[in-house]
Amino acid sequence: AQSVTQPDIHITVSEGASLELRCNYSYGATPYLFWYVQSPGQGLQLLLKYFSGDTLVQGIKGFEAEFKRSQSSFNLRKPSVHWSDAAEYFCASSDWGKLQFGAGTQVVVTP
């Protein structure tokens, strides 16, 4: 079965600094990969997705992610974080239409 792993449970970043969240997947073929964000008490919002083609995908809110088959990774990046980016971020892979989520990375933004 497909799975994703998010190695970092918690990340603290200063406002204006860059952010990178790690995600590793386990699947033989090209997976369908997603990043979702969840603000406190809210549902999940899709940031971006990768199905095929260009390995660098752009998403909403200034986020991007890069698919690297050689490293089985799909890391999320943002060049300059804003206080409003404080949230929990989930990487997910699609398993015949069902999403399998990682455990999430909590992002704290400091002034």
Burial 43-80 (b: 16+ CB within 10 A, else e): ebeebbbbeeeeeebebeeebbbbbeeeeebbbbebee
Query: What is the residue type of 7?
Result: P
Query: Which one of the spans 22-30, 57-65, 76-84, 89-97 is the region binding another protein (CB under 8 A)?
Result: 89-97
Q: What is the 3-state secondary structure (H, E, C) of 76-102?
A: EEECCCCHHHCEEEEEEEEECCEEEEC
Of 11-19, 56-64, 73-81, 97-105, which segment contacts another protein by CB under 8 A? Answer: 97-105
22 binds another protein (CB under 8 A): no
**Is there binding between residue 67 and another protein (CB under 8 A)?**
no
- Contact status: 26 vs another protein (CB under 8 A): no
| 59 near another protein, judged by CB under 8 A | no
Amino acid at 89: Y
Please give the residue ranges that form the binding site for another protein (CB under 8 A): 9, 32, 34, 36, 41-46, 49, 51, 90, 92, 94-104
